[in-house]
Amino acid sequence: MSILHHWAVWLWLLCLYLVQQEVTSQCGDPAKYGGQSIQAYLDDKSDVLPWTVAIRGKFGSFKCLGSIIPENGFNGKHKNSSRLNGFNGKHKNSSRLILTAGSCFRHVLKKRWGTPSSYKVFAGLDRLRLFLNRGQSAEPKGIRIMPYNTVNENIWNGIALVTLKKAFVFNKEVSPVCVKSAYIIPSDKSKCFVSTYHKKRLDEDIVRMVPGSVCKFGHFPELAKTKGLCSTHDRSETEKSLGGPLVCLVDGRAYQYGVYLSELITKEAFSFQKQSLHFYGHVATVLDTSPANVFRFIELGLSQKPSSSKKSSSSSEEKPQHGCKHPPPSGKPQKPGSPTLPPCSKPVKPAQPAPPVQVMYNCSERYVPSLYYAFGFNILRHPPILQLTLYITV
């Protein structure tokens, strides 16, 4: 009887594995849902890859691009590892998970994060309109952000994983791209492309990855710790869009490796040749839910219990100070003969990390070489101005 029991368990596990493989094998192949081959999308500029989404702000303005990923598409580990998702793995023909850039949800002027309900995600469209957008749409329910805290604002805010209130149903116009939670880089022979947003239209561009794909060369040493990826471009090429997925073909299927965050310009001293690098945050940094990584997450739209450190700090701030003079209530005078005490000090707020100080120069191209010679490589260009970023260590 025990032998039959063991065989039944093994058979059940095998069936579970085959079902899992069937679900995850549908990603990265639009033809499985009635769409075209990936090469057909790249050749035909009127069609958009079905995992590309557009994210719009509260007042209808375009914020960034993103991508649809399967809920149990990266080894199934994400299903039970985070309360952010809140799904049970039953939606095999739909998904509520979106990968995009963290800066998509950051108010630059107000210096704060937005609320999930202030945004809307659109899928299955090739053009973003103010009204009457075809395809599917949904609001975010929760947002997890992995900040990188380095270089410029877009890279500083890192990449984000969004959970929608309702799932996008897969069809010939909407389907997911494959993704893995492990840190894997594309091979030098891989064909890679990134989604773009230009003149209110969604499109794709072929990209050339730097040798080894990883941004760990001498031009920007501060990027090495992010484990981000870089592609190289000519200055005449189309600029990329924030949050656009970096996708490479592996055995005919599309896998997402990165999320586009920023353009970096390099120029060797005493040389007139410039090189444009595009930086992508690696998807594994926000999908990794190991204890060493989770504490760095910024989560929006979730009710969280305060940590013990927050409780202790708040209790110490609320605790009355002894041996000092508090302001008398309702302007009552101090009683005669009572000892005079020094006034109580105000509680000091804990320091918050902030993006690096940025100095902006609005200058023409003829002044650019002198800036390069004077300050070296770290020149970041965001049209229509040239941005020179200075890093100040206190």
Question: Is 225 found in the same domain as 137?
Answer: no
- Residue 132 domain-assigned? yes
Reported in sequence order, the residue ranges of the chain that DSSP labels E, i.e. its strands, are: 52-56, 62-69, 94-101, 106-107, 112-113, 120-123, 136-138, 140-146, 159-169, 192-198, 201-214, 229-233, 245-250, 253-267, 274-282, 298-300, 358-361, 379-382, 385-389
Residue 368: CATH number of its domain: 2.40.10
Q: Are residues 40 and 69 in the same domain?
A: yes
| β-strand partners of 360 | 387
- Inside any domain, residue 303: no
Task: Tell me, yes or no, whether 115 and 35 share the same domain.
Answer: yes
Residue 67 belongs to a domain with what CATH number? 2.40.10.10
53 lies in the same domain as 175: yes
Q: Do 40 and 168 belong to one domain?
A: yes
Q: Are 33 and 98 found together in one domain?
A: yes
Question: Does one domain contain both 104 and 170?
Answer: yes
Q: Which of 47, 38, 49 is nearest to 175 (CA)?
A: 49
Enter the pTM of the model. Answer: 0.70
> In this structure, is residue 267 part of a structural domain?
yes
Do 268 and 210 fall into the same domain?
yes
Instruction: Output the tens digit of pLDDT for each of the chain's 394 residues.
Output: 567 666 666 665 554 444 444 444 589 999 999 999 999 998 887 789 999 999 999 788 899 999 999 997 553 343 433 345 444 444 479 999 999 999 999 998 888 999 999 999 999 998 887 776 788 999 999 999 999 998 889 999 999 999 999 999 999 999 999 998 899 999 988 999 999 998 888 888 889 999 899 988 777 788 888 999 999 876 545 567 899 999 999 999 999 999 999 988 776 655 566 677 899 999 999 998 888 888 899 999 865 544 444 444 444 444 444 555 555 554 455 555 555 555 555 544 444 455 554 433 333 332 333 323 223 333 333 333 333 333 333 3
Residue 316 lies in a domain: no
- Both tokens assigned to 243: 């949050």
Q: Is residue 322 part of a domain?
A: no
Whether 65 is covered by a domain: the verdict is yes
State how many domains the chain has. Answer: 2
The radius of gyration of the chain from alpha carbons, rounded to an integer in Å, stands at 25
Phi-psi region of 212 (alpha: psi -120 to 50; beta: other; left: phi over 0): left
Distance between CA atoms of residues 89 and 79, nearest Å: 6
Its domain, for residue 229, covers 192-282+356-389
Q: What would the two tokens of residue 378 be?
A: 């770290």
Domain check: are 28 and 55 in the same one? yes
- Of the residues 241, 264, 294, which one is the last residue of a structural domain? 294
Is 174 in the same domain as 199?
Answer: no
> 97 in a domain, yes or no?
yes
Q: Residues 158, 210: one domain?
A: no
Tell whether 309 is covered by a domain. no
Measure the CA–CA gap between 284 and 104, rounded to whole angstroms: 19
Task: Say if residue 216 is in the same domain as residue 158.
Answer: no
CA dist 350 and 372 (Å) reads: 37
